[in-house]
Structure 1
């Protein structure tokens, strides 16, 4: 796996990788991470992958991080784990 770029953003750490004919877009926030795989056949360049990372995409990912946090906390609560 080859790291192509760190893409600065205030809401999440974003890293772009190339691996096995795919671009991997990795977003991290606290203890959570999301990875999206985009086939190199579906985009013409790294620039097109970066274009996917618009504010609407990032906002949805940030909401998903909040939902992930909520889901984990709910599981802790269901099992009386703190």
Structure 2
């Protein structure tokens, strides 16, 4: 797999990969990643792929990143029961 192209869209880093006539894109933001893979023949070249990546697509990705970040934060929320200490006399 080789990196074909990289660019930034607002706060998102976009990386395009190519291997065995198949393309995939990875979007990264704040230690979160989304990866989209395309079947053989769905994308003919880099220009074709870039034309598919519309503002609406990027907006959906940003919403998904927001949801992912919220899920990640919930993993670390402190439960009130866990912060209670045993009584020491």
TM-score by length of structure 1 reads 0.84
Distance in 1 between the 2:51 and 2:7 partners?
12
Distance in 1 between the 2:24 and 2:78 partners?
34
Partner of residue 45, structure 2: 45
Q: Which runs of 4+ in 1 moved over 6 A?
A: none
What secondary structure does 1:58 align onto? helix
TM-score by length of structure 2 reads 0.79
More off after superposition, 53-62 vs 40-49? 40-49
Distance in 1 between the 2:19 and 2:78 partners?
38
Gaps of 5+ in 2: 83-89
Gaps of 5+ in 1: none
Partner of residue 16, structure 2: 16
Root-mean-square deviation (CA, aligned residues, Å) is 1.7
Judge conservation of contact 2:27–2:33 (CA < 8 Å) in 1.
Answer: yes
Which structure is larger by alpha-carbon Rg, 1 or 2?
A: 2
Higher relative contact order (CA 8 A, sep 6+): 1
